[in-house]
A = this chain, B = another copy of it.
Amino acid sequence: MNIEHLLSKGIQATPPSFVRGILKAASDPEVISFAGGLPNPVSFPQEDLLNSMEYIVKTYGSSVFQYSITAGLPELRQYIADRYNRIFGLTLTMENIIITTGSQQALDLIGKVLLNKGDGVIVEKPTYLAAIQAFSMHQPVFYPVELTEEGMDPNQLEKALQNPVKFIYAIPDFQNPTGLTYSAKNRERIYEILKDHTVVLIEDDPYGELRFKGERLPYIGAGRLPGSILLGTFSKTVTPGMRTGFIISENKELLTCISIAKEASDLHTNIFSQYLIWDYLKNNDLDLHIAKITELYQKQAHAMMDAMDRYFPPTVTYTKPHGGMFLWVTLPEKISAMSLFPGALAKKVAFVPGDPFYIGVKHANTMRLNYTNADCETIEEGIRRLGDLLKEQSI
């Protein structure tokens, strides 16, 4: 049965994920993949998690297997509130927090709650490809604002805000895809611009804990812009496979709507995983665990940068992240990273070409490289292969 005429306009407007589309090719064990956003398995505290599993099944019994409440496990939400209050001087309670099925679900829920067809959404240029996916389902109008080394360009932001915009989606720390971090000055400037607008600021912060250089900076909106939403996740610090993220907001009306949208989406997030992560956090030093991860990621990031200095031509530039999982390579003008992709795969190395991180851009001269999921030797070998490809193409 041909069902094309039955399909919604929303799904027709939603691009498939380039990253998910090449998962099969990239998971060939011979391919060195810089394409995914996979944490290094060292970030999974397997033994500690197994201990927690045994403990929670024996201690909480059927509660860890039964249906549960939509907002999420109160104890885990309290832990999150306490941690953010301690680190950022916020005054959150567990009522400010909804557990989501990964951060991705938070994007889905926000789209559902805020977007009608044609509504404006301000995003960074470039931005996270799966955020474009989640929002595209609602057929909004995207207003991309250039991302500079300092963060979102404030002048372009002011201009974009002249449109009927529902929300701004930003990743201020170790941005995906660029690895860039907003400066303190830029954050303050954006706050000053936004405080007079009735618009929702979404700060997506999956990577902020993964800083290996410099000091953490305050959030732009959390704690002071009343309509702001902060997103977090345990995917990069404990385990992504458990799909446990969270939404933080001090706006009760927004949280009520997000909760209704979540009921309709999956009733609640896996409660076993919530007990598990809560018990793990209670019994282990998360900061110590994160320190181990960032020490590793720093080495891997440097291995990649050193290799690029060695194997890439000087006309190719890249960002120098202070944390997170990605860096962003810029090729000479008019060189399409997408066109290079098949040649890279032939050499058994994968990356994500820039195109899917932009709205309506084809043949961008940029690419995203992930450095967290391969050891330093493998990273060097992968960059060497990419360097060979660039030379063969006379770049």
Verify if A61 is at the interface (C-beta below 8 Å from B): yes
Query: Does A33 reach chain B (CB closer than 8 Å)?
Result: no
Q: Which residue of B lies closest to A23 (CB)?
A: B69
* Interchain CA distance A257-B37 in the complex, whole Å: 23
Judging by beta carbons under 8 Å apart, are A261 and B11 in contact?
yes
CA A133 to CA B268, docked complex, whole Å: 14
Check if A243 sits within 8 Å of B269, measured CB to CB: yes
Identify A241's interface contact among B4, B65, B226, CB under 8 A: B65
> Using Cβ atoms and an 8 Å threshold, which residues of chain B touch A235?
67
A265 contacts the other chain (CB 8 A)? yes
A210-267 interface with B by 8 A CB criterion: 226-227, 235, 239-243, 251, 253-254, 257, 260-261, 263-267
In the complex, A49 has a CB within 8 A of chain B? yes
A67: nearest residue on chain B (CB-CB)? Answer: B240
Q: With a 10 A CB-CB cut-off, give which of A37, A54, A68, A243 has the most chain B CB atoms.
A: A243
Cβ–Cβ < 8 Å partners of A113 in chain B: 7-8, 11
Indicate if the CB atoms of A66 and B240 lie closer than 8 Å: yes
Number of copies: 2
Residues of chain A at interface, number, CB under 8 A: 87
Question: Within 8 Å of chain B (Cβ to Cβ): is A200?
Answer: yes
* Residue of B8, B240, B260 touching A16 (CB-CB under 8 A): B260
Minimum Cβ distance to chain B for residue A15 (Å): 8
- Check: A53 CB closer than 8 A to any chain B CB: yes
Contact across chains for A266 and B66 when beta carbons are under 8 A apart: no
Please give the distance in Å from A88's CB to the nearest CB on chain B: 20
Residues of B contacting A41 with CB < 8 Å? 61-62, 65-66
Report the Cα distance A11→B50, complex, angstroms.
39
**Are B44 and A116 in touch, CB under 8 angstroms?**
no
Residue from the set A7, A130, A137, A265 with the largest chain B CB neighbour count within 10 Å: A265
A36 at the interface (CB under 8 A from B): yes
Q: Indicate whether A112 sits within 8 Å of B11 (C-beta atoms), given known contacts A1-B227, A66-B241.
A: yes
Q: Does residue A38 face the partner (Cβ distance < 8 Å to B)? A: yes
Of B58, B134, B166, the contact of A265 (CB 8 Å cutoff) = B134
Residues of B within 8 A of A8 (CB): 112-116, 119, 138
CA distance A373 to B61 in the complex (A): 15
Q: Among the listed stretches A100-108, A303-311, A316-324, which one makes contact with chain B, having 4 or more residues with CB under 8 Å of it?
A: A100-108
Residue of B nearest to A57 (CB): B50
Chosen A-B contacts, 21 in total, with CB atoms closer than 8 Å, are A2-B253, A3-B253, A4-B253, A8-B113, A9-B116, A16-B263, A20-B263, A46-B65, A53-B54, A65-B240, A66-B241, A107-B264, A108-B266, A112-B137, A130-B264, A239-B272, A242-B270, A243-B267, A243-B268, A243-B269, A266-B266
> Could you list which residues of chain A lie within 8 angstroms of chain B, going by C-beta atoms?
1-11, 14-17, 20, 23, 36-39, 41, 44, 46, 49-50, 53-54, 57-58, 61-62, 64-70, 101-102, 104-105, 107-108, 112-116, 119, 130, 133-134, 136-138, 166-167, 198-200, 226-227, 235, 239-243, 251, 253-254, 257, 260-261, 263-273
